[in-house]
Structure 1
């Protein structure tokens, strides 16, 4: 189900510039390189699952930038849902293992769900249609 006011470009053969951010801008991935490894592993898994092509990515302490080429039979929303679901589960497990109590407490119910939440619900995306679009 789409969001109100959002145009449906989701199932087209497009290249996207995507940004997704940790709730509260917490610098979760700066804790240790293993947290970045989770992001990379999840990007690779999701790329294969959706037969997509990652052109570039930048991993920051509290967000991810991605240039992603989707094929026409797959949805960028589904891709991001699966990426965020997997990374959330794995990062929370690692935070618990590392006994990062303060950070866990900050992420607990931050989204009002009664659970740990890592990512904002939404992500920003821009369809890249030309070289000019890349320079924006």
Structure 2
């Protein structure tokens, strides 16, 4: 298995992206969005996940984070994806969802190639981790994360998207607490 996009250092920060199979727009309803935010909060409190920046889009989640405890980032992401997969399916089944049958069938068919039996597959394999190695890269990745909803024309200003740490960096109320990054000598937030 390749380690090119896997977090291997517990002390290092990584830019990661986790994506739904087929880039299916799952996170279009508030219950699904809150499910992801609540799972991230749990990982922060109980698993040592430190989040510096994030953005939850309709089909993927960007994080700039690190593991700061006994678990590695790989273990945290494994647990996060396993838990949220079950909860996403449960929410599709229990909440009003016009695409219920289509989504369940799609996630079921995504399991057909797997060697071990599984009823549904929500997340793509892996989490595309890239180690953050310089202040320039930190600024670049946080800007990329925050600009996602602007590029998708969801909002015109990054801080107006509620499910993003752009709000934290603008000192606005937010869905998830993050460790705001201050960049060196100028003591200004990114």
* TM-score class, shorter: 0.7 to 0.9
1:123 to 99, 123, 127: 127
| Shift of residue 72, structure 1, vs aligned partner | 6.1
Q: Secondary structure at the match of 1:90?
A: helix
Q: Is the 8 A contact 2:48 2:69 kept in 1?
A: no
Q: Distance in 1 between matches of 2:26 and 2:135?
A: 33
Q: How does 1:1-136 map to 2 (within 5 A)?
A: 3=1, 5-6=2-3, 10-30=8-28, 32-71=29-68, 73-98=70-95, 100-112=100-112, 113=114, 114-134=118-138, 135=140
| Shift of residue 105, structure 1, vs aligned partner | 1.1
Q: Distance in 1 between matches of 2:56 and 2:22?
A: 17
TM-score normalized by the length of structure 2: 0.64
Q: Is the 8 A contact 1:19 1:124 kept in 2?
A: yes
Q: Secondary structure at the match of 2:63?
A: strand
Gaps of 5+ in 1: none
TM-score normalized by the length of structure 1: 0.87
Q: Secondary structure at the match of 1:108?
A: helix
Gaps of 5+ in 2: 142-190
Q: Distance in 1 between matches of 2:69 and 2:11?
A: 4
Q: Secondary structure at the match of 1:56?
A: strand
Q: Distance in 1 between matches of 2:78 and 2:7?
A: 16
| Shift of residue 69, structure 1, vs aligned partner | 2.3
| Shift of residue 57, structure 1, vs aligned partner | 0.7
| Equivalent pairs, count | 132
